[in-house]
Amino acid sequence: MHITILALGSTGDILPYTALGKGLLDTGHRVRFITFENFKSRIIDLGMDFYPIQGDPRALVSQSGQNMLSLARSFGSLARGYARDLSAPELLETNLIINQLPVGLYGYDLAEKAGIPLILASVFPLAKTKYLPLMGFPGLPIPGYNRFTYTVGELIVWMMFKKVINEWRQTTLDLMPVKNQEYFGSSKGAPVSILNGFSPSVVERPGDWGKDIHITGTWFPEDQNWRPPDELVAFLDSGPPPIFIGFGSMTIKDTQKTTRIILEALKLTNQRAIMHRGWSDLGDQDLPESVFRINYAPYKWLFPRMGMIIHHGGSGTTAASLRSGVPSCAVPFLFDQYYWGKRIAALGVGPAPIRFGKLKTARLTKAILEGLNNQDIRQKAQKLGQQIRLEDGVKSAVDIINAILDKYQPQV
């Protein structure tokens, strides 16, 4: 079968879907991956067909704020370009669309036009539930509030996209315009399946999720061609396990200041560190010999060798840190990162998160000491890591996708 994956965002947003695509390839499917041009080489190296979307993931991240509204606005500003890029007739030549974009944007319309099933996919919980509000909304003890936040989130997204989407449907796809209540949650009257690429050991399944909503386990990317540089191996072997500090694809206005805060906390705690430069070029200054700066290393290899992990709370980085069995602490910048930071603390596998805007030497010092010295945290982190390493999220997701294909048996 031919499967199309549509995913846009930063590196951390895209990598889980490349792992899912590789899993589908390995079971005999042909996979087309639609994403930003920046990821072309990675997609092609994995053996998937690449289809480009114009855009800069760094700009998208930097424009995003700390709630659903600002995130939707960042995507919404590029809505017309997305519609243009997704208008090629060849995109309808597929058996199934897996869509990472919020509430099925664009994928819903392509699937309707092609007469094929649509699967929504996410690496953090976005399906409606009465037990938790939508990410980006505060928790309030108001009856009916939690489910209502998802409706509000849908409306926010729809306001940003409805004009472009409906114009595109009418002029390019020859489809009738839709209203938001028609757009979300179903395709031609059939429930849309949702794949959640996170661990059931980390996120408890809400009791009101239906049978079409699945928690598969995390889709961990692999990097089998990477070999550790000799300098990195020598640094790791030269002393006790260091602390990893990195903020991935996040952008920082004053990188020098942030680096100074980190170095001060490391000095006060007498710790060595691996500093990941990331998109903000963290650590671009004179560093002590006790700090080793890297551009890249696979987290599967690196994180188990750490004494503690300080990160931005992205879904992929959080999952990798939890799998490693090493205590971690999130320094969230936006959206789902706040959720994952709170989950780390709630699971007892790391200190409470530190908002990036509140990052100070004293707070970071306290978190490092707690993560290193609290034996309860360390034991819980080890136990959770063992549980996650037993899971195979890609295989579980592929099995579900194959079952959906068998059920609908669409024809190209």
What digits encode the pLDDT tens for the residues 49-106?
999 998 776 666 555 544 445 555 555 567 888 999 999 999 999 999 999 988 889 9
- List the structure tokens of 363: 């707070």
What digits encode the pLDDT tens for the residues 226-248?
999 999 999 999 999 999 999 98
AA letter at 397:
A
Asked whether the CA dihedral 381, 386, 390, 392 is positive or negative, the reply is positive
- List the structure tokens of 226: 């990477």
Residue 270, H or E segment: none
C-alpha span between 313 and 132 (Å, rounded): 19
Residue-level pLDDT at 184: 62
For the entire predicted model, the pTM comes to 0.90
Q: Are 194 and 122 in contact (CB under 8 A)?
A: yes
